[in-house]
Amino acid sequence: MNYRLSWLYVVFAFSLAILFNVFVVSKRFSNPFPPAGVSPITEYAVFDLVGIVSGTRRLFSDIAWIQLLQYYGRADKPVSLEEEIETSWDVVHFFSGLRLWKDKHEDEEHCDEHGCSHAGHHHIEDNKDPAEYKRLLDHCRRIVALDPFFNYVYLYGAGALAWNLERTDEAIELLKHGISELDTYHANFGNDVNEPYWRINLYLSAILYRKSGEFLKMTGVLEKAVRLPECPALVKSILANIYQKDGKPAQSLKLWIDIYESGDTSYHSHAAEKIAELKNIMGL
Amino acid sequence: MLAIETSNLTKVYRKKHLTRTALTRGVEGLNLSVEKGEIFGLLGLNGSGKTTTIKLALGLLRPTSGTVTVFGEPAGSTDALRKIGYLPEVPYFYRYLTASEILSLYARLSGLDNVSGRVERIIDMVGLSQKRNKQLAEFSKGMLQRIGIAQSLLHDPELLIYDEPVSGLDPLAMQEMRTLLLKLKSQGKTIFLSSHLISEVEKICDRVGILVKGGMVRTLPQSQWASAEGSLENIFISEVSASAETDRMKL
Amino acid sequence: MKNILSIARYTLIENIRNKIFYVLVFFGVIIIAASLLLVALGGEQQRRVLLDFGLAAIEFFALVTVCFAAVNLALEEMQSKTIYLVLTRPVSRAHYLIGRYAGLLAAVYSGMFLMALLHAGLLVFNGFEFTLRYPLALLLSAEKITIIGSVALFFSLFSSSAISSISFTVFFWVLGHFSEEIRYLGEKVTYVLPKIVAKIAYYVIPNLQYFNLRDFWDVPGITGSWIPAAIIYGILYSVACMTLSLWLFSNKEF
């Protein structure tokens, strides 16, 4: 009969592997992810748990990201010209010296006198139902619960909440959550988190300035933001409109070209329109 | 030196059920000796312990008690296996390999050096030259049997252990097998075969052992049945009947 | 060594010629191609989606293949008795098992390599910038599969049922990724016994998170300092499982 292996070899082999784990590998490895928690969207709790237990957090966070885009519809519904103008209109007022609207009655009287464009009458109530996309923040939180280092979600989500939906408090909550996650990670691991940390702080500053009406500072911060990698096209489009209204078509054109080439196909057609429009203005 | 020698060999199969363990005796107190250069036939009914004996000699099973040696080496040791060519009752091969590939594999595993040359000769010998590059999944039963014979002879072993070698063969194939075995014996090989086909066994074996319920009841040389036709069958039946009678008396 | 290589070679050929292997590779290729659809939905994160989906698909394909192949390697061979004509040759059982395992891994790695080539091509086409992280992530996935393959082999020798072997292996895969959560639970619980059990489980079960570099892609400041130790650990654990399998196999009767 062939040699029968003694069980002692088995014990020895496993002891070696386990001791190596205890004294070497486990000392060098630290799991950067926080422990699994309950998903902010309970309908996906089990689904997200599958991602965690199968070691595919990033993949499932990508699926959650796609679900966010489907929910929010940004991939299908590019911001219209009127919507973009309306979003940056209060900033334009500041730069042009016009007063900010305070109530509807005053606006109507003003426009009856001066013949304002329809866009000028566009109020938040006409743009989007405040109750719409009420779970946008939850979707963003869900993604970053799976992958806290999916920094783009903080920027995109905050941008959408602050500038498109005018829910600056939720945007601030999201960004503060991102900062808190990075703080925790840095405290536990000591790794350098400056780059994402600074970027999130930048967006937070921009939104805080917007909320407090300090549009000059907000624009300055946005200018820094768009120079960084992973700046959402949404934020670039905000600044591009600001530049256009501020009489800086060349800078606006540069941003729209950047948006067109960014890879986000949802902005392609609109960016192409804007590029054509700006080239026309500049006589190119 | 004896080709195969067993001393008080016992094998008990244990089958565990929920609340009990069932014990089945495969062989019990088996004393068997196979001389070098002879053809030894192991006769017995189904379930008498023929395959168990063969598997014990090959090391596929471990004895519960007793010993079994092959050319003085412990059964199942690599030294013993090097000298054995085995043909199971139904040879099973890797379906996705071709005839050449499977024989080349077995040749390498047997430690042969000139693998391709040896494989070519053996394939020609068993008449499968045209099929050498066909996958075994496409082979007929007869062709698989020939591959089985080929792999057992590949490494020119001293001892051939064939389990029911003529089972399922047509008369022509049976005759071919008979001729082959006699030829191998003339080359000095020892052949240990098991069968329940008495007519075939009595034509080629030098000695026969009769197994009944895992025990060797009788071993007899050719001279004892060669004198009268059909006498081996009579001897076999009388031994089996006697054993059955003994069991009835015990009850 | 010659015996191990001969057995590994025929195992590789056997697996590659098996129709199920082709189906799995084809399925893997389809998955990667289908990821392009998801990429289109990914907004500005297309490259990330393509990267993650492809790496996960490669690993998932390898897991499925190694589970089925490892189970067939031992279980089916014993049931179909093809093992008889190998074990009745002057080949030690150790050489046989190691050779079969090596051939199985070679087949799985080949499939992973093919899929990785396709995936890398798609990434290049989408403007992805390659770093050392990509091949390293694949290498660690392969290491994970090596461990799970040895576990699958053990379960196939231990259990007589293919379904239960595969189920146990998948369960082990899940446990391996859940190690960190087990450790966290152990720290949080107040009773001593569950604490000890959790700690033992954490160290005994192979922590597959060590090999999950594809999940740590964007983690700031990650240096991978644990990786060399993790690779050694993976080899040690696989060897331990193979030793266990060998112990079982050396005691098996046919």
Residue C165 token pair: 């072997």
Give how far Cα B34 sits from Cα of B4, B66, B188, Å.
5, 17, 14
pLDDT value, residue A14: 93
- Average pLDDT on A2-22 reads 86
Q: CB-side exposure of C228: number of CA atoms within 13 Å?
A: 2
Q: How many residues does chain A have?
A: 284
Which band of pLDDT confidence, cut at 50, 70 and 90, is reported for residue B218? confident
Between A233 and A120, name the one with better pLDDT: A233
| pLDDT at position A114 over 70 | no
Q: Which residues contact B178 (CB under 8 A, 6 or more apart)?
A: B166, B200, B203, B204
Alpha-carbon B182 to chain mean position:
15
Is the Cβ–Cβ distance between B195 and B164 less than 8 Å? yes
Which band of pLDDT confidence, cut at 50, 70 and 90, is reported for residue A3? low
pLDDT value, residue B17: 75
Query: Measured between alpha carbons, how far is B14 from B12 in angstroms, rounded to an integer?
Result: 6
Radius of gyration of the CA atoms of chain C, in A: 20
The CA-based dihedral angle spanning residues A19, A21, A22, A28, taken in that order and rounded to the nearest 10 degrees: 140
Beta bridge partners of B6: B32, B68
- Which of C14, C80, C86 has the CB atom closest to B96's CB atom? C14
Query: Measured between alpha carbons, how far is A182 from A202 in angstroms, rounded to an integer?
Result: 14
Which band of pLDDT confidence, cut at 50, 70 and 90, is reported for residue B199? confident
Q: Which residues in A lie closer than 8 A to residue B56 (C-beta atoms)?
A: none
**CA closest to C78 among chain B residues:** B92
**CA closest to B81 among chain A residues:** A1
Question: Testing the interface with A: which of C37, C45, C98, C254 to mutate, by most A Cβ within 10 A?
Answer: C45
CA angle B114, B117, B122 (to 5 degrees): 115
Q: What is the DSSP letter of A19?
A: H
Is the Cβ–Cβ distance between A55 and C179 less than 8 Å? no
Q: Which residues in B lie closer than 8 A to residue C88 (C-beta atoms)?
A: 58-60, 81, 84, 86
Q: Which residues of chain C are modeled with pLDDT < 50?
A: none
Beta bridge partners of B40: B192, B207
What count of CB pairs under 8 Å joins B to C? 70
pLDDT, tens only, A54-80: 899 999 999 999 898 888 864 334 445
Give how far Cα A230 sits from Cα of A63, A113, B112, B165, B226, Å.
19, 44, 64, 75, 96
**CA closest to B80 among chain C residues:** C90
Query: Measured between alpha carbons, how far is C66 from B37 in angstroms, rounded to an integer?
Result: 48
Q: How far A145 CA lies from chain B's nearest CA (Å)?
A: 48
Which band of pLDDT confidence, cut at 50, 70 and 90, is reported for residue B246? low
pLDDT value, residue B178: 86
Query: Measured between alpha carbons, how far is C168 from C44 in angstroms, rounded to an integer?
Result: 40
Find the range with the poorest average confidence among A33-42, A103-112, B80-89: A103-112
Residue C105 token pair: 């891994």
Q: Which residues in B lie closer than 8 A to residue C90 (C-beta atoms)?
A: 78-79, 81-82, 109-111
pLDDT value, residue C137: 94
Of A42, A69, A71, A36, nearest to A55 by C-alpha is A36
- Which of C6, C13, C82 has the CB atom closest to B109's CB atom? C6
- Average pLDDT on B94-119 reads 87
Is the Cα torsion angle A245, A249, A250, A253 positive or negative in sign? Answer: positive
Q: Which residues in B lie closer than 8 A to residue C87 (C-beta atoms)?
A: 59-60
pLDDT, tens only, B175-189: 888 888 888 899 999
Instruction: Assess B70–A contact: CB distance below 8 Å, yes or no.
Output: no
Q: Give percent of chain A above pLDDT 70.
A: 76
**CA closest to C249 among chain B residues:** B60
The CA-based dihedral angle spanning residues C243, C248, C251, C254, taken in that order and rounded to the nearest 10 degrees: -130
Strand bridging mode B39-44 / B207-212: parallel
C226-231: long-range pairs with CB below 8 Å, 24+? C226/A25, C226/A28, C226/A29, C227/C136, C227/C140, C229/A20, C229/A24, C229/A25, C229/A28, C229/A29, C230/A25, C230/A29, C230/C140, C230/C143, C231/C139, C231/C140, C231/C143
CA angle A73, A75, A80 (to 5 degrees): 80
pLDDT value, residue A129: 52
pLDDT value, residue B190: 94
C53 sits in which H/E element:
helix C46-71
* Cα first-last separation, chain B: 42
Question: Cβ–Cβ of C49/A65 closer than 8 Å?
Answer: yes
Instruction: Assess A141–C contact: CB distance below 8 Å, yes or no.
Output: no
Is the Cβ–Cβ distance between A166 and A207 less than 8 Å? no
| pLDDT at position A97 over 70 | no
Q: Token pair 């040879």 is at which residue?
A: B91
Between C161 and B38, name the one with better pLDDT: B38
Query: Measured between alpha carbons, how far is B102 from B82 in angstroms, rounded to an integer?
Result: 18
Backbone angles phi, psi at A165, to 5 degrees: -105, -5
Q: Token pair 């112990």 is at which residue?
A: C247
Q: How far A152 CA lies from chain B's nearest CA (Å)?
A: 51
Q: Which amino acid type is present at position C81?
A: K
Residue C244 token pair: 């266990």
Query: Measured between alpha carbons, how far is C178 from A53 in angstroms, rounded to an integer?
Result: 5
Which band of pLDDT confidence, cut at 50, 70 and 90, is reported for residue A83? low
Residues 1-40 of A with CB under 8 A from B: 1-2
Instruction: Assess A23–C contact: CB distance below 8 Å, yes or no.
Output: no
Q: Token pair 């007589």 is at which residue?
A: C160
Question: Cβ–Cβ of A65/C226 closer than 8 Å?
Answer: no
pLDDT value, residue B249: 62
Q: Token pair 């990724």 is at which residue?
A: C177
pLDDT value, residue B71: 92
- Average pLDDT on B224-232 reads 72
Q: Which residues contact A125 (CB under 8 A, 6 or more apart)?
A: none
Between A116 and B94, name the one with better pLDDT: B94
Is the Cβ–Cβ distance between C3 and B102 less than 8 Å? no
Which chains reach chain C with 3 or more Cβ–Cβ distances below 8 angstroms? A, B
Residues 74-93 of B with CB under 8 A from A: 74-78
| pLDDT at position A100 over 50 | no
What count of CB pairs under 8 Å joins A to B? 10
- C164 burial (CB, 10 Å; 0-12 / 13-18 / 19+) is middle
Question: Testing the interface with B: which of A1, A3, A4, A5 to mutate, by most B Cβ within 10 A?
Answer: A1
| pLDDT at position A130 over 60 | no
Question: Cβ–Cβ of A1/B78 closer than 8 Å?
Answer: no
Q: Which residues in B lie closer than 8 A to residue C85 (C-beta atoms)?
A: 86, 88, 91-93, 106, 151
Question: Cβ–Cβ of C81/B90 closer than 8 Å?
Answer: yes
Question: Cβ–Cβ of B62/A1 closer than 8 Å?
Answer: yes
Which band of pLDDT confidence, cut at 50, 70 and 90, is reported for residue A102? very low
Helices assigned H by DSSP within B10-159: 50-58, 78-81, 99-109, 115-125, 141-153
Is the Cβ–Cβ distance between B196 and B232 less than 8 Å? no
Residues 33-92 of B with CB under 8 A from C: 55, 58-62, 78-79, 81-82, 84, 86, 88, 90-92
Give how far Cα C206 sits from Cα of A22, C179, C193, C209, C239, Å.
11, 8, 21, 9, 13
Find the range with the poorest average confidence among A229-238, B43-52, B148-157: A229-238
| pLDDT at position A128 over 70 | no
Residue A10 token pair: 């088995």
Query: Measured between alpha carbons, how far is A4 from C94 in angstroms, rounded to an integer?
Result: 10
- Going across the sheet that includes B73-74, the strands are B21-34, B4-16, B65-70, B73-74
Q: Which residues contact C195 (CB under 8 A, 6 or more apart)?
A: C186, C187, C189
Q: Which residues contact C207 (CB under 8 A, 6 or more apart)?
A: A21, A25, A26, A29, C176, C179, C180
Is the Cβ–Cβ distance between B85 and B153 less than 8 Å? yes
DSSP string computed for A99-146: PPP--HHHHHHHHHHHT--GGGG--HHHH--TTTTTTHHHHHHHHHHH
- Average pLDDT on A252-258 reads 91
**CA closest to B63 among chain C residues:** C253
Query: Measured between alpha carbons, how far is A16 from A7 in angstroms, rounded to an integer?
Result: 14
- Average pLDDT on A106-112 reads 43
Q: Which residues contact A273 (CB under 8 A, 6 or more apart)?
A: A81
Residue A91 token pair: 């900033």
pLDDT value, residue A18: 94
- Average pLDDT on A231-250 reads 84
Query: Measured between alpha carbons, how far is A51 from A59 in angstroms, rounded to an integer?
Result: 8
Of C62, C31, C222, nearest to C141 by C-alpha is C62
Query: Measured between alpha carbons, how far is C148 from C238 in angstroms, rounded to an integer?
Result: 8
Q: Which residues in B lie closer than 8 A to residue A2 (C-beta atoms)?
A: 59, 76-78
pLDDT, tens only, C120-147: 988 888 888 888 899 999 999 999 999 9
Q: Give percent of chain B above pLDDT 70.
A: 96
Q: How far C147 CA lies from chain B's nearest CA (Å)?
A: 26
- Which of A2, A13, A57 has the CB atom closest to C93's CB atom? A2
